[in-house]
């Protein structure tokens, strides 16, 4: 019963909070919104192509085509060691990727490189409402320190359920049309409910439960 109340309290907080709070753009791994965040470095992920890949509490899914884990260009395009990209051995990978979090997060971000043109990164809550969009910059130069950027979305009170990274320019009639990108050191910060908001949520759910019991009686 306690787990049930906590779950719906968090859902209630997100539903109320995201009506007035929108995600903020993050441009640095040292942003306060990511203090103490969990980092996925992709080092333990199996190399090769994947339709979908779960690492810890995050699932990466190629919406239209596959994603890849590789280390061939380690040190370039803002990568170190293994990284995630969308090139699949002469068979272009995704132009859209969904990022699902096992539990809501308040912020996330990653090293970004290789893009020849702008991409978009959109965060959503559990109800499918957009919390914010970041038009990611092109990051063409392969050599550090100019080979990429840190990009992300966050904001106090935001409850990010999932995000979508997408390239708006693919030619639907040309399967070879792609923009090769690199992602590394993916960071995410889980939501820490505000104690007062949790208490209000519990009281609200308790009142609703009491009313339902009276109606049944």
Domain parsing of the chain, residue ranges: 19-194
Q: Which range has the worst mean pLDDT, 27-31, 99-103, 141-145, 210-214?
A: 210-214
pLDDT tens for residues 166-217? 998 666 556 556 789 999 999 999 886 555 444 444 444 454 454 545 555 5
Contact 120, 128 (CB under 8 A): no
Cβ neighbours, 10 Å, residue 194: 14
Confidence band of 5 (pLDDT split at 50, 70, 90):
very low
pLDDT band at residue 141 under the 50/70/90 scheme:
confident
d(CA 125, CA 163): 9
Ramachandran angles phi, psi of 168, nearest 5°: -80, -5
Higher pLDDT, 96 or 15: 96
What's the CATH code, domain 19-194? 2.60.120
Rounded to an integer, what distance in angstroms lies between the CA atom of residue 194 and that of residue 198? 6
The gap from C-alpha 33 to its chain's centroid, in whole angstroms, comes to 14
Q: Which helix or strand (DSSP H or E) is residue 134 part of?
A: strand 130-136
- Confidence (pTM): 0.79
């Amino acid at each position: 019963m306690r787990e049930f109340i906590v779950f719906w309290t968090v859902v209630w907080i997100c539903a109320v909070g995201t009506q007035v709070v929108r995600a903020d753009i993050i441009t640095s791994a040292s942003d306060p919104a990511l203090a103490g965040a969990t980092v996925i470095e992709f080092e333990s992920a199996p190399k090769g192509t994947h339709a979908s890949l779960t690492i810890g509490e995050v699932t990466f899914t190629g919406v239209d085509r596959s994603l890849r884990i590789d280390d061939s260009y380690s040190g370039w395009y803002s990568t170190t060691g293994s990284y995630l990209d969308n090139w699949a051995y002469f068979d272009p990978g995704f132009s859209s990727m969904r990022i699902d979090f096992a539990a809501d997060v308040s912020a996330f971000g990653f090293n970004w490189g290789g893009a020849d043109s702008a991409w978009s990164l959109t965060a959503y809550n559990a109800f499918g409402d957009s919390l914010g969009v970041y038009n990611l910059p092109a990051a063409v130069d392969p050599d550090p320190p100019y080979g990429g950027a840190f990009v992300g979305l966050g904001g106090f009170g935001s409850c990010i359920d999932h995000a979508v990274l997408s390239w708006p320019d693919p030619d639907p009639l040309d399967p070879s049309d792609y923009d090769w990108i690199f992602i590394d050191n993916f960071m995410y910060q889980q939501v820490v409910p505000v104690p007062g908001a949790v208490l209000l949520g519990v009281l609200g759910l308790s009142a609703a439960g009491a009313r339902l019991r009276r109606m049944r009686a």
